[in-house]
Amino acid sequence: MTSQVVVHATPELVAATAAARLAVRLVDVQHARGTASVVLTGGRTGIAVLEQLRRSPARDAVDWSRVDLYWGDERFLPPGDPERNDTQARAALLEHVPVAPERVHPMPAADVRWRDDLDGAAESYASTLAARATPEDHGPVPRFDVCLLGVGEEGHVASIFPSSPAVYETDRAVVAVHNSPKPPPARITLTLPAIRRSDEVWLLTTGEAKSAAVAMALSGAGDVQLPAAGARGLRRTLWLLDRAAAGKLPRDLVPPLI
């Protein structure tokens, strides 16, 4: 599937337009099927999208009681730690909309139960996903409507880093990351096979430091060398970039600036 690339002038526009796109997508899916699902991401841009959605009047067009919320990866830290993606997402959006608690599926934290069992925590989240999957999903995870992902300077997505054990995973949907090159070292992540069970994958990327990874991912790099190149949706793969992140793309891949 060919990736679609959209370039905006600034990081603020990337976040604002992604928020608007997400609201429309969730409303459309709910109209067609009743419920919708989204995989959230952390990072500066991912959280900015949620903040923009919180401030947008369009947020009230979404029936938040019928949205299932998952995470693509998580820092294995104590519950409520300010560095956890779910803590930041709750402050940015989820505490401000009427989400149904039973539809919010955070990854396990380093609490009393899981503190010394990172692998068990990852297996627990895999079980959570499997319990939400239906026969129509044809796999161990639900078919996510939208999966939001950031991209690291070296091309990682979620907590799947280049040449790491996670990038070689072909069977499991969720794995533990024991030695992340980016702190903290202990993390939990969806794998590329799980990410690719999404109807749409949106890669949200801003800043000149990301431009080399973006260019490589969109120019045919391999998954092991550049995990972002392996993040693809079943129906659509959308790259939402600012001008700086798109700065090293070949001319034929650069769309008009929006």
d(CA 120, CA 143): 23
Residue 175 clears pLDDT 70, i.e. is over it: yes
246: exposed, middle or buried (C-beta count within 10 Å: 0-12, 13-18, 19+)? buried
Name the pLDDT band for 253 (thresholds 50, 70, 90): confident
- Helix runs in 34-65, H state only: 43-55
Q: How many CA atoms lie within 13 A of 200 on its CB side?
A: 19
Residues 131-169: tens digit of each pLDDT: 999 998 888 999 999 999 999 999 999 999 999 999 999
Residue 84 clears pLDDT 80, i.e. is over it: yes
Spell out the domains of the chain, with CATH numbers in brackets: 4-253 (3.40.50.1360)
In this prediction the pTM is 0.96
Name the pLDDT band for 252 (thresholds 50, 70, 90): confident
d(CA 124, CA 202): 26
Identify the helix (H) or strand (E) that includes residue 200: strand 198-205
Name the pLDDT band for 258 (thresholds 50, 70, 90): low
